[in-house]
Amino acid sequence: MNNSPRGVLAAYTPQGVFSFFEDICAIPHGSGNEAKIAAYIENFAKVRGLYCYRDDVNNVFIRLPAAEGCAHKPAVLLQGHTDMVCEKDGDSSHDFLVDGLDLFAEEGKIGARGTTLGGDNGVAVAMMLALLDNPPEKHPVIECLFTVSEETGLEGAHAFDPAAVGVMAKTMINLDSESESTVTVGCAGGMRTDITLPVNARSAEGVLVKISLSGFSGGHSGVEIHEGHTNAIKAMGRLLNIPVGCDWDLVSINGGGKDNAIPRDCEAELLIYDFDGNGVDDAKTFCEAVLKEAEKLRAEPNIIAADKQFVCTAEILDEKASAMILDIDGTLGTVTLLTLARDGVLAMNAHVKGMVAYSRNLGIVQTVYDEEGIPAAVKFSFSTRSACESHLDDAERELTQLAMICTGLANNATHRARYPGWDYAPVSPIRDLWCKISEEMLGKAPKVEAIHAGLECGILCSKMPGMDIISVGPDMWDIHTPRERLSIDSTARLYRVLCRVLADICE
């Protein structure tokens, strides 16, 4: 277990928010591992005598009665998710299943050593708990919904049943945005796709070579997809596709960690055959060609500054190796898929300048082994985003066809976790109120925009028609990466605005 000291955030106000955030960070809560955080929230409600409902997937719903004199005012639903993206540096020994996060605060920002912070969306959980624990003097009925597995397909929102708790609110404030100066009023829908390439592994002898790519900046595959971050998996596909004068097959390939995070690293091992006694020389030539191609990539004008410092290594591991290789169909299918798969921005919105309309992220490639440790398949995981349903339909067809091309005409594509987008509402009282109060308190009106990222708002809106929704949040940077940071001052300011909005509803 993580034995890092508690009280790292004890000096910051509002202390309720930062104290609860520190509690949350001490509890492992990666996607699919939310039972302990759900129990913590459930116990919080029980101690305070609040109505609480925890469903079968560990979504938690809490209701706080209105303050005296405010019972006739319209209820408000606050919402955020309890899971976090679990990414860590290559040299980190952190175990997300059992370890709490090792927090630090410096230069006005909170981070976690060697790992993601989970400010997305732990700060929402902390704000909701702080409000329930110490609400404004005047407030309507406050309902709080804590959903699970948002980061792996918005699964908690899909599973949530509003009828089971009798949701009273017709206004919802989602707390899953990352910019204090922005009010989000729409988002993309999306879909996950897994393509599985079966392989017939066999034993072979030759020169074992390892190629590694690391140090790319990564990032969020929705809100940062237009910024040009290099996809390490696609870059590996390029290196494996260069023409060389020798025969080889893959032994393994692995890269990325989450389908919704732009991959920062990728590693491949391959066996170069020694048919003519020149295997070692061929391997050296191959490694030199890979390194030259990597330098060509580094010099290209599309490579952003944050990715220029990536590291590429190509080395001989064993000059006389015996290894299980993927066979020619497995190798060819893998390289073909990495080469042909479209990734990044696929279309821009023709009517909203600078807004992405359609994108895809190849987030994971993984060699899958059978019970005897023999390679059985290579699995590829994609995240596709668009607010346009026809784009998602097109993505299903395209990725299904790609799977058929690369896996011997078998349909080995599985599409899952599809969710709808959230359309802009021309009339929104909560949007107008938030903008008014934010301008009064912070001196500047927030920007109102739709984003190219998946939020639970679309699913929840479809389950609760007529809900007036906005999404807000404090300033965060580099989410879904170990460089993730949360602004201390912005968190405090946004919380004060939230409290004021809830109080003004009772005016």
For residue 22, the surrounding DSSP H or E stretch is: helix 15-25
Considering the chain, tell me which residue range(s) the CATH 3.40.630.10 domain(s) occupy.
15-177+455-504
Nearest to 281 by CA among 330, 307, 256, 316: 316
What burial class does residue 235 get, using C-beta atoms within 10 Å of its C-beta: 0-12 exposed, 13-18 middle, 19+ buried?
buried
CA separation for the pair 22, 12 (Å, rounded)? 11
- Helix-helix angle 488-504:119-133, to 10 degrees: 50
Known catalytic residue: 300?
Answer: no
Give the bridge partners for 167, in sequence order: none
Using 70 as the pLDDT threshold, list the residues of the chain that sit under it. Answer: 1-5
DSSP assignments along 478-490, one per residue:
STTSTT-EEEHHH
- The class level of CATH for 192-419 reads alpha beta
The reported pLDDT for the residue numbered 284 is 97
Burial of 243 (0-12, 13-18, 19+ CB in 10 A): exposed
pTM of the model: 0.78
Residue ranges in 344-464 assigned as alpha helix (H):
389-406, 429-442, 457-463
Per-residue pLDDT, 460:
96
Given 23, 34, 83, 176, the catalytic residue: 83
Residue identified by tokens 């390194």 is: 291
**Choice among 102, 120, 143, 150 that is catalytic:** 150
Residue with tokens 């009517």: 351
Helical H segments across 274-388, by residue range: 279-299, 327-340
pLDDT of amino acid 307: 97
Domain 15-177+455-504 has CATH 1.10.10.10: no
Distance (Å, rounded) from C-alpha 290 to C-alpha 242? 8
Q: Using DSSP, state whether 253 is helix, strand or coil.
A: strand
The pLDDT value given to residue 5: 53
Delimiting residues of CATH 3.30.70.360 domain(s) in the chain? 192-419
User: What's the pLDDT score for residue 507?
Assistant: 85
Backbone angles phi, psi at 419, to 5 degrees: -140, 150
